[in-house]
């Protein structure tokens, strides 16, 4: 029998800005009628630091208190989410970590 260890606890990620629950969506259609893609606060912060401010992944990791590899994983995932929402007409909904829509 294989024993699986529980996953490591999630490291605290420091974000400079607090984002209230908002959404970007295509105009002309109610939010309730379109598919929603969640973007968490740490994903938005990593995207802002790397793509918005032009920091390297290492610099962004230092600001957020996580490793460069963690930033790389976060950025890769959030870029896919944004690309999907923009090309498929989905809503980008900003949520705090663990918040249900």
pLDDT tens digits for range 3-26: 555 565 655 555 555 555 588 889
Mean pLDDT of the chain: 83
Please compute the mean of the pLDDT values over residues 75-91 and round it to a whole number: 96
pLDDT at 101: 42
CATH of domain 23-95: 1.10.10
The pairing of beta strand 36-40 with beta strand 23-24: unpaired
Please compute the mean of the pLDDT values over residues 55-80 and round it to a whole number: 96
Domain definitions of the chain by residue range: 23-95
Q: Check if the beta carbon of residue 71 is closer than 8 Å to that of residue 60.
A: yes
pLDDT at 24: 87
Q: What are the residues facing 23 on neighbouring strands? A: 93
Please compute the mean of the pLDDT values over residues 62-87 and round it to a whole number: 96
pLDDT at 22: 82
């Amino acid at each position: 029998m294989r024993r699986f260890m529980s996953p490591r606890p999630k490291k605290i990620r420091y974000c400079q800005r607090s984002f209230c629950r908002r959404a970007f969506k295509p105009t002309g259609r109610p939010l309730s009628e379109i598919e929603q893609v969640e973007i968490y606060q740490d994903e938005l912060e990593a995207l802002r630091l790397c793509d918005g401010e032009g920091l390297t992944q290492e610099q962004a990791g230092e600001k957020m208190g996580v490793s460069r590899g963690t930033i790389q994983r976060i950025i890769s995932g959030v870029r896919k989410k944004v690309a999907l929402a923009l090309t498929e007409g989905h809503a980008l909904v900003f949520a705090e970590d663990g918040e249900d829509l």
